[in-house]
Amino acid sequence: MKIAVLSDIHEGLNRKKTETDILLLLRDSLIQHAPDIYIMCGDMAAGPEKSLNLLNQLQNELPNIQILYVHGNHDIYHEDSTVAYDQLLKFKGNLGRGPIELNKEWVVVGDGGWYDYSLGSPEFTEEEFEIGRCSNFTWPDKLHAHWPEKDKEVTEKYITRLEQWLLEHQGKNIILVNHFVPFEHFIQIKNEPTWDFFNAMMGSSRLGNLAEKYGVKKMIFGHTHSRYHEEYKGIECICNPLGHYPNEWVLDSPKEEIYTAMKIIEI
């Protein structure tokens, strides 16, 4: 079985900057690679309506490819992110609806996730992270994502849900999917206060702990716009974002970048 992985499409931003139809190029890339499954772990666009429409359009145009999705932080930009979360569950491939068994041996477990500051620098306080402002820059989630709970409480909900699903699927080979970074290993520390402060919003070590505890075979995530594919703590870890044009792309051509950036794995 062939699985394609590419996250952090940021369709609106990249469409405007490249002046090209990003969704069309993504569709064409998937047609060329011809996977059985496409795992898209978050940040299709800004806001649930745009993301849901794009996901449905892509799935309708690719009936032979099963699209599996978890939300990113940008997808739930809404005056009430709980409403946004529920709206995105309308997409049939949203893993927040429950695990998907690929065959008798493999199952995909996932949900969007959130962050709890556990990957943040100890030089700052939890109160500072909650405010989310450093050097005159405010983390965009603090302005556009509105949960009724604090970040730590939001993360707790995801951890509880994911742990239950992992528990129910012991004995199978598990692919765990979420948007946020699960291990400090994949965090870039630059010893620059402005940069290191915002590492707190990259993910949660509790996600990595779950992967270790339940013997996850593959961990797929995004959010940090750096590409990784390596074994860490016995887990095949894949972070494969498209990221923002032009600074985070390897190639100038949108068509070539979206084709070559697509990660293909086989199970």
| Dihedral over Cα of 238, 150, 94, 104: its sign | positive
**Domain tally for the chain?**
1
Model pTM score: 0.97
The CATH number of whichever domain residue 200 belongs to comes to 3.60.21.10
Residue pLDDT tens, the chain, 267 long: 999 999 999 999 999 999 999 999 999 999 999 999 999 999 999 999 999 999 999 999 999 999 999 999 999 999 999 999 999 999 999 999 999 999 999 999 999 999 999 999 999 999 999 999 999 999 999 999 999 999 999 999 999 999 999 999 999 999 999 999 999 999 999 988 889 999 999 999 999 999 999 999 999 999 999 999 999 999 999 999 999 999 999 999 999 999 999 999 999
Tokens of 225: 């716009």
Residue 1: count other Cβ atoms within 10 Å of its Cβ.
12
Q: 69 pairs with which residues across the strands?
A: 40, 94
What is the span of the domain harbouring residue 125?
Answer: 2-266
